[in-house]
Amino acid sequence: MDRARLKAAIRQVETSGGKNNYPRLEAAFLPRGAKVTIQGREVHGTGASYSSVAQKRYERWGLAAACSFGPWQVLAHTAWDFGGFPEDQAPWLLWAPWVSEPVVDRLLERIISRGADTPEKVFNAWNTGRPDRPSPYLAHYLKAYEELG
């Protein structure tokens, strides 16, 4: 597997190659029933991934704790928990490619070291957290990967 192509494909699918890298609010990391308006649309918190850790981060960083950032759309919680991003760093710093890229490298290394041995498994794990859980965007990732080859 070509890791540079994996990263480029993720970047292409997530943000059109970095052009549309606005923060994205993840409703699962909001308290159940929370209603917020972001980028002109109302989002309802599902609480599906809201834990005591998520609550502490939400209390400290507000909505930003429930967002993904940057060209690769790295979820703040994922960066803190698995990407080596310091817990005391503001999540919006991940918007900068020079901050998020080393996190992406660590996340891909983690995914691959845990058995994702094909691009399909890597993309599934990137998007769903598990290499055996299909990503709804898998076809897009694979197309981008092939086109970059």
What's the total number of domains in the chain? 1
Confidence band of 115 (pLDDT split at 50, 70, 90): very high
**What is the enclosing helix (H) or strand (E) of 19?**
none
What range defines the domain where residue 130 resides?
3-147
If you average pLDDT over residues 84-101, what whole number do you get?
96
Which residues contact residue 132 at a Cβ distance below 8 angstroms, ignoring those fewer than 6 apart?
121, 124
What pLDDT is stored for residue 59 in this prediction?
Answer: 96
> Angle formed by the axes of helices 119-128 and 97-113, to 10°?
120
If you average pLDDT over residues 122-140, what whole number do you get?
94
What pLDDT is stored for residue 144 in this prediction?
Answer: 97
User: Which position has the higher pLDDT, 39 or 30?
Assistant: 30
Residue 41: pLDDT above 90? no
Average pLDDT of the residues of the chain: 95
**What is the enclosing helix (H) or strand (E) of 24?**
strand 24-25
Could you tell me the pTM of the whole model? 0.92
The b-or-e profile of 124-137 (16+ CB within 10 A means b, else e) is bbbbeeebeeebeb
Which of 37-41, 71-75, 79-83 is the least confident region? 37-41
Tally of CA atoms within 13 A in the half-sphere of 117 that contains its CB: 1
